[in-house]
């Protein structure tokens, strides 16, 4: 009888502790451009709180579609408002949890040592028969911003046939870093995170919609630490880390 009770108690503990551990763990779906900075933020959060944030990075569009399909995430960090709006319209965000967390800057990069490049009709010549690396221009925020900027500058029609589209902005960055593309459009934070590229031009702010990173808790989140982690993301320690990685304060929308 004692042995049966001990076995039952052991089974109880086996199931209890994994559940307790998972309750304190936050699953975060975040735009690929946040990878380097958010990994530092999550590591600091774990040191301070003892709780873990599990991070999943991809294009904002891919993550939003996964959430729509029922993926078990607690927190969503998008690189534009459009995909967050889409989830909010479907009732997938916890009421009152959404806010704008960060901003960024759009830049043109080339392999390290590439000379500065004017953002004019000579851009095609600078490709030297190669491709301009961009994230998906109809879905991924960095690609959407990049296409808008090229349209504003009157360059899109000519440059479009020379664009190599990647699943997310970090994939576009990698094409430039490994020399597969002579130029690419990414965020300033991506360029800062990759020593194999140099910024060769900065797109003027009026050339594209304001780059905004909204964050929100998902309606189905069961993590008991998700609000604490969101508060930490919005707090001074995390903000200092984000700014160090090149992010900016979120733009003020008019």
Q: Which residues are annotated as a binding site?
A: 33, 60, 142, 169, 187
Question: 56, 68, 69: which is closest to 93 by C-alpha?
Answer: 68
Q: Which helix (H) or strand (E) holds 156?
A: helix 156-159
For residue 202, what are the contacts with CB-CB under 8 A and spacing of at least 6? 105, 106, 107, 108, 188
Quote the CA–CA distance of 210 and 104 in Å, as a whole number.
9
Are the C-beta atoms of residues 170 and 35 closer than 8 Å to each other? Answer: yes
Quote the CA–CA distance of 137 and 160 in Å, as a whole number.
10
The DSSP letter of residue 55 is: E
Two tokens, residue 229: 């982690």
Quote the CA–CA distance of 56 and 87 in Å, as a whole number.
18
Are the C-beta atoms of residues 92 and 219 closer than 8 Å to each other? Answer: yes
Q: Which helix (H) or strand (E) holds 193?
A: helix 188-193
**Known binding-site residue numbers for molybdate:** 33, 60, 142, 169, 187
């Amino acid at each position: 009888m004692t042995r049966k009770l001990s076995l039952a108690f052991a089974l109880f503990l086996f199931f209890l502790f994994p559940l307790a551990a998972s309750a304190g763990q936050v699953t975060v779906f975040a735009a690929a451009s946040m990878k380097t900075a958010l990994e530092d933020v999550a590591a600091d959060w774990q040191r301070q709180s003892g709780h873990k944030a599990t991070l999943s990075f991809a294009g904002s569009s891919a993550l939003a579609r996964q959430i729509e399909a029922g993926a078990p995430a607690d927190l969503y960090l998008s690189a534009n408002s459009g995909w967050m709006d889409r989830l909010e319209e479907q009732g997938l965000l916890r009421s009152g949890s959404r806010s704008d967390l960060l901003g960024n800057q759009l830049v043109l990069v080339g392999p390290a040592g590439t000379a500065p490049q004017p953002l004019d009709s000579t851009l095609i010549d600078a490709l030297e028969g190669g491709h301009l690396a961009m994230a998906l221009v109809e879905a991924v925020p960095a690609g959407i911003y990049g296409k808008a900027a090229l349209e504003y500058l009157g360059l899109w029609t000519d440059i479009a046939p020379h664009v190599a589209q990647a699943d997310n902005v970090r994939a576009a960055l990698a094409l430039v870093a490994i020399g597969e593309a002579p130029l690419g459009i990414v965020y300033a934070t991506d360029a800062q995170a990759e020593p194999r590229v140099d910024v060769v031009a900065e797109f003027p702010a009026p050339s594209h919609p304001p780059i905004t990173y909204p964050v929100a808790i998902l309606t189905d989140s069961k993590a008991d630490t998700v609000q604490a982690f969101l508060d930490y993301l919005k707090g001074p320690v995390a903000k200092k880390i984000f700014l160090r990685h090149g992010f900016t304060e979120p733009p003020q929308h008019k």
